[in-house]
């Protein structure tokens, strides 16, 4: 079976997209978003729709961590039934995280502009409202800081650049104790598995949404103190690296 | 205090979903899943037979307690332990019929709170919430869960 | 147990928290993935969601009992109250209204004022989703699974959903029977 287009999952629910027509470029999606009231949808007369709620309503809302664990658990179980191996499972989890990344990116930008400064300060280099990051480092800071705080209530634990001259396109984001793995005890025979592949997918979605072609994978790097320490390996594509050089030369930050 | 063995049965009860049989003292450390018991005069043999026996016993006892005492919460909670000349059996059952059984030496204090804590802090957190553990441990699929075993070891010691 | 006492357990039970949007969006991707995997066969998606919920329920009930410390309910009315005021409060931070009792006290409705699972949701405008998909159907399965673990066989389904353009979001829950204990294996 051919891999489904990445954006199609997003369209099937909630953005007013039509899954049948299968549009998978962002252009179509943008249009769908600018037409909030699709004429075909019924709405309750008391107007309880997403358009009548403030987008920041759930900003500081919290829910039970167990509820997340159960949902995530079912996601893993469901994915497990449809795959052949660990790599396949991680790929699927990654695919499920991807659309989340795209959406969170919008949410992050929206919130950072509406609150003028604080949330995105690390990534905004000018006094104007923060824009889409153009450089790799700005993007990675956005992930390491604001994205992690939005999702997990704290920044990631480390951000590093590959020291090898052969792989200048590789960066590492480390989480000492990933929330998604809190309740997961991986059996020995599956020791390679890291369900944080889901989070890797989220990162990939954020990068892609910013126009940075990337592959992100999650790897177990346990230490004595942090048994579920996970490193997210971010590998940028050639086009990104080339653009990075051009931007560097022209002094874009 | 010495713990001789520890069992968890799910609501189906047919097979224990977790067994630890060992002679375990503070000094000797705990070796889970080690089929060995050396209490004087106490014969804990093949885990299979014993666990059936243990389950049958607690099941009957709890039913008797309930029948005589009325089928309400207090009756459900009233079977706490029994003692023989060689060991003490501690029992804790949740409303989902998950049963925790521990055999200890006679000097042991009541383990009711301990069993409850094992349920709340270890079983629920590490086994129930682990998506890689099956929802139902049918057919004797054990808990086989490192996080749970490690923390149980720490907890019991 | 008095209704007040039940609400107090719901309010006072401490639970670890996580960002609500992470939960909402994660649930969204689950439903979206199912819609994709089953080619927008919404009946099948409903069924799968119910199945997932059932699996969750069987686990969640243990957590519920451990956290809240409550015991067995005396009757189905008490169960309904416990579900609404403690269960939903702990796990979704909402308290649906229990209402529309059938005369035999074996059937009631839960009306949801808020539903965090559907916070960012609009159903696809394909002319079918609003008639066929029950977006939050996982909740029916959760109730079915968790009550089965405490010896109650129930049936639950949504009868209306604001996402479908209805005025309210309502779930109907019926008690089928109380389940007897399973007997231990035969002794040889």
Give residue B157's pLDDT.
59
Q: Is C98 exposed, middle or buried (0-12, 13-18, 19+ CB in 10 A)?
A: buried
- In chain C, what residues touch B59 (CB-CB under 8 Å)? 184
Give residue A170's pLDDT.
96
Give residue B30's pLDDT.
37
Over the stretch C35-71, which tens digit does the pLDDT of each residue have?
A: 999 999 999 999 999 999 999 999 899 889 988 888 8
Question: Taking a contact as any Cβ pair under 8 Å apart, which residues of chain A between 106 and 165 contact chain B?
Answer: none
Q: Is A116 in a helix, a strand, or coil? A: coil
Give residue C147's pLDDT.
95
For chain A, how many residues are written?
A: 253
Separation between Cα atoms, residue A224 and residue A146, nearest integer Å: 28
Check A70 against C60: CB less than 8 A apart: yes
Separation between Cα atoms, residue B117 and residue B100, nearest integer Å: 11
Separation between Cα atoms, residue A163 and residue B93, nearest integer Å: 56
Angle at A225 between CA A219 and CA A231, to 5 degrees: 20
| Domain chopping of chain C, boundaries | 1-178
- DSSP class of residue A145 equals I
Question: Taking a contact as any Cβ pair under 8 Å apart, which residues of chain B between 61 and 120 contact chain C?
Answer: 63, 72-73, 76-77, 94-98, 119-120
Check B132 against A72: CB less than 8 A apart: no
Q: Which residues contact C48 (CB under 8 A, 6 or more apart)?
A: A78, C34, C38
Chain A residue with the nearest C-alpha to that of C93: A63
Give residue B70's pLDDT.
66
Give residue B77's pLDDT.
64
Average pLDDT (B101-106) is 87
Over the stretch A143-157, which tens digit does the pLDDT of each residue have?
A: 999 999 989 989 999
- DSSP class of residue C160 equals E
Residue A71 contacts B, CB cutoff 8 Å? no
Residue B128 contacts C, CB cutoff 8 Å? yes
Check B146 against A185: CB less than 8 A apart: yes
Q: Is the pLDDT of residue A94 over 50?
A: yes
Least-confidence region, from A3-7, B92-96, C55-59: A3-7
Give residue B67's pLDDT.
78
Mutate to test the interface with C, among A10, A41, A149 (most CBs of C within 10 A): A41
Give residue A108's pLDDT.
86
CA trace torsion B134, B138, B140, B141 (10° rounding): -20
Residue A119 contacts C, CB cutoff 8 Å? no
For chain B, how many residues are written?
A: 157
CB A32 within 8 A of CB A15: yes
Q: pTM for the whole thing?
A: 0.80
Position C155 confidence tier, pLDDT thresholds 50, 70, 90 = very high
Check C182 against B95: CB less than 8 A apart: no
Separation between Cα atoms, residue C46 and residue C71, nearest integer Å: 32
Separation between Cα atoms, residue C161 and residue C175, nearest integer Å: 22
Q: Which chains touch A (3 or more CB pairs under 8 A)?
A: B, C
Q: Is B42 in a helix, a strand, or coil? A: coil
Check B147 against A77: CB less than 8 A apart: no
**Per the structure block, which two tokens stand in for C176?**
């089928």
**A-B C-beta contacts closer than 8 Å:** 36
C177 to chain A, minimum CA–CA distance in Å? Answer: 27
Residue C153 has φ and ψ, to the nearest 5°, of -95, 120
- In chain B, what residues touch A72 (CB-CB under 8 Å)? 131
| A143 inside domain | yes
Give residue C7's pLDDT.
81
Mutate to test the interface with B, among C16, C66, C147 (most CBs of B within 10 A): C66
Q: Of A70, A76, A185, which has the smallest distance from its Cβ to B148's Cβ?
A: A185
Domain that holds residue A202: 65-112+132-250
Position A137 confidence tier, pLDDT thresholds 50, 70, 90 = very high
Q: Is the pLDDT of residue A131 over 90?
A: no
B73 to chain C, minimum CA–CA distance in Å? Answer: 6
Chain B residue with the nearest C-alpha to that of A183: B130
Q: Is the pLDDT of residue A25 over 90?
A: no
Residue B123 contacts C, CB cutoff 8 Å? yes
Which parts of chain B are beta strand (E)? 3-9, 16-24, 81-83, 88-93, 99-104
Residue A171 contacts B, CB cutoff 8 Å? no
- In chain C, what residues touch A151 (CB-CB under 8 Å)? 19, 22
- In chain A, what residues touch C120 (CB-CB under 8 Å)? 14, 50, 103
CB B19 within 8 A of CB B6: yes
Q: Of A4, A61, A152, which has the smallest distance from its Cβ to C36's Cβ?
A: A4
Place of tokens 């003292």: B25
Check C165 against A42: CB less than 8 A apart: yes
Check A100 against C26: CB less than 8 A apart: yes
CB C126 within 8 A of CB C102: no
CATH of the domain at A75: 3.30.1380.20
Residue B68 contacts A, CB cutoff 8 Å? no
Smallest Cα–Cα separation from B97: which of B25, B35, B12, B11? B11
**Do β-strands B3-9 and B81-83 pair in parallel, antiparallel, or remain unpaired?**
unpaired
Position A122 confidence tier, pLDDT thresholds 50, 70, 90 = very low
Q: Report the run of H or E that residue C49 belongs to, with start and end.
A: helix C42-68
Q: Of A12, A17, A152, which has the smallest distance from its Cβ to C36's Cβ?
A: A12
The percent helix, strand, coil of chain A (3-state, each to 5) is 45, 10, 45
CA trace torsion A90, B139, C182, C143 (10° rounding): 10
Residue C63 contacts A, CB cutoff 8 Å? yes
Which parts of chain C are beta strand (E)? 17-19, 97-99, 107-112, 152-160, 169-178
CB C148 within 8 A of CB C58: yes
CB count within 10 Å of CB C16 equals: 12
CB count within 10 Å of CB C115 equals: 21
Q: Which of these CATH numbers, 3.30.1380.20, 3.90.550.10, 3.30.420.40, 3.40.50.300, describes C1-178?
A: 3.30.1380.20
**Per the structure block, which two tokens stand in for A125?**
């280099």
Q: How far is CA B109 from the centre of its chain?
A: 16
A97 to chain B, minimum CA–CA distance in Å? Answer: 17
**Per the structure block, which two tokens stand in for C40?**
């927008």
A74 to chain B, minimum CA–CA distance in Å? Answer: 7
Separation between Cα atoms, residue A229 and residue A217, nearest integer Å: 14
Smallest Cα–Cα separation from C136: which of A202, A71, A150? A71
More confident residue, A5 or A174: A174
In the sheet with C152-160, reading across from the earlier edge strand, the strands are C97-99, C107-112, C169-178, C152-160
- Dihedral of alpha carbons C13, C85, C107, C132, sign: negative
**Do β-strands A158-161 and A214-220 pair in parallel, antiparallel, or remain unpaired?**
unpaired
| A223 inside domain | yes
Average pLDDT (A181-207) is 87
Give residue B140's pLDDT.
46
**Per the structure block, which two tokens stand in for C109?**
């409705």
Residue A58 contacts C, CB cutoff 8 Å? yes
| A4 inside domain | no
Number of domains in chain A: 1
Q: Of C18, C19, C35, which has the smallest distance from its Cβ to A12's Cβ?
A: C35
Chain A residue with the nearest C-alpha to that of C40: A19
Architecture of domain B3-22+45-156: 2-Layer Sandwich (3.30)
Per the prediction, chain A carries an average pLDDT of 79
Give residue B103's pLDDT.
86
Residue B122 contacts A, CB cutoff 8 Å? no
Mutate to test the interface with C, among A66, A149, A181 (most CBs of C within 10 A): A66
Alpha helices in B13-138 (DSSP H): 47-69, 73-77, 112-117
CB count within 10 Å of CB C33 equals: 23
Q: Is the pLDDT of residue A31 over 80?
A: no
Over the stretch B52-90, which tens digit does the pLDDT of each residue have?
A: 788 888 888 888 887 777 666 555 567 888 888 888 899
Q: Is the pLDDT of residue A128 over 70?
A: no
Give residue A80's pLDDT.
87
Question: Residue C156, CB half-sphere, CA atoms under 13 Å: how many?
Answer: 32
Give residue B79's pLDDT.
82
Percent of chain C clearing pLDDT 90 (strictly above)? 70
Separation between Cα atoms, residue C179 and residue C108, nearest integer Å: 19
**Per the structure block, which two tokens stand in for B157?**
């010691």
A75 to chain B, minimum CA–CA distance in Å? Answer: 9
């Amino acid at each position: 079976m051919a891999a489904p287009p990445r954006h199609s999952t997003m369209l099937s629910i909630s953005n007013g997209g039509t899954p049948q027509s299968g549009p998978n470029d962002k252009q179509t999606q943008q249009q769908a978003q600018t037409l909030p009231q699709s004429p075909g949808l019924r709405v309750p007369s008391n107007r309880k729709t997403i358009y009548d709620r403030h987008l920041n309503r759930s900003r500081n809302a919290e829910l039970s961590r167990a509820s997340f664990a159960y949902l995530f658990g079912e996601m893993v179980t469901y994915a497990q039934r449809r795959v052949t191996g660990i790599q396949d499972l991680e790929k699927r989890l990654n695919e499920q995280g991807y659309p989340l990344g795209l959406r969170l990116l919008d949410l992050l930008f929206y919130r950072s502009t509406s609150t003028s400064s604080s949330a995105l300060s690390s990534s905004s280099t000018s006094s104007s409202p923060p824009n889409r990051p153009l450089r790799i480092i700005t993007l990675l800071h956005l992930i390491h800081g604001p994205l992690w705080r939005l999702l997990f209530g704290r920044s990631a634990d480390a951000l590093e650049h590959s020291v090898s001259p052969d792989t200048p396109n590789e960066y590492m984001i480390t989480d000492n104790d990933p929330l998604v793995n809190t309740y997961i005890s991986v059996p020995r025979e599956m020791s390679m598995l890291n369900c944080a592949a889901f989070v890797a997918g989220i990162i990939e979605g954020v990068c892609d949404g910013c126009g940075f072609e990337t592959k992100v994978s999650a790897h177990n790097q346990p230490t004595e103190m942090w048994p579920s320490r996970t490193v997210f390996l971010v590998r940028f594509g050639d086009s990104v690296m080339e653009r990075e050089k051009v931007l560097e030369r022209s002094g874009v930050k | 205090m010495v713990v001789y063995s520890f069992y968890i049965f799910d609501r189906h009860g047919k097979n224990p979903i977790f067994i630890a049989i060992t002679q375990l003292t503070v000094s000797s450390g705990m070796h889970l899943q080690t089929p060995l018991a050396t209490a004087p005069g106490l014969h804990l043999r093949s885990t299979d037979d014993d666990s059936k026996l243990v389950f049958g016993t607690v099941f009957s006892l709890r039913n008797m307690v309930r029948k005589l005492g009325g089928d309400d919460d207090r009756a459900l909670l009233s079977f706490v332990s029994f003692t023989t000349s060689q060991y003490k059996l501690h029992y804790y059952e949740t409303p989902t019929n998950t049963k925790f059984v521990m055999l200890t030496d006679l000097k042991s204090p009541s383990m009711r709170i301990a069993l409850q804590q094992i349920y709340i802090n270890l079983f629920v957190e590490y086994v129930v919430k682990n998506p890689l553990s099956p929802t139902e441990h049918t057919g004797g699929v054990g808990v086989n869960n490192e996080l749970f075993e490690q923390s149980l070891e720490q907890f019991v010691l | 147990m008095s209704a007040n006492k039940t609400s107090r357990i719901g309010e006072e039970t401490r639970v670890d928290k996580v960002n609500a949007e992470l939960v909402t969006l994660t649930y969204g991707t689950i439903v979206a993935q199912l819609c994709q995997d089953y080619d927008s066969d919404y009946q099948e998606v409903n069924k799968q969601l119910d199945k997932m919920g059932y699996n969750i329920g069987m686990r969640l009930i243990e957590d519920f009992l451990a956290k809240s410390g409550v015991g067995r309910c005396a009757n189905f009315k008490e169960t309904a109250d416990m579900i609404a005021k403690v269960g939903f409060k702990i796990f979704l931070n909402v308290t649906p209204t229990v209402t529309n009792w059938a005369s035999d006290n074996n059937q009631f409705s839960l009306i949801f004022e808020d539903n965090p699972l559907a916070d960012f949701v609009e159903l696809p405008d394909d002319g079918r989703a609003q008639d066929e998909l029950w977006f939050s159907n996982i909740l029916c399965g959760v109730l079915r699974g968790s009550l089965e673990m405490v010896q109650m066989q129930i049936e639950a389904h949504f009868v209306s959903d604001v996402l479908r353009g209805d005025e309210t979001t309502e779930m109907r829950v019926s008690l089928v029977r109380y389940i007897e204990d399973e007997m231990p294996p035969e002794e040889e």
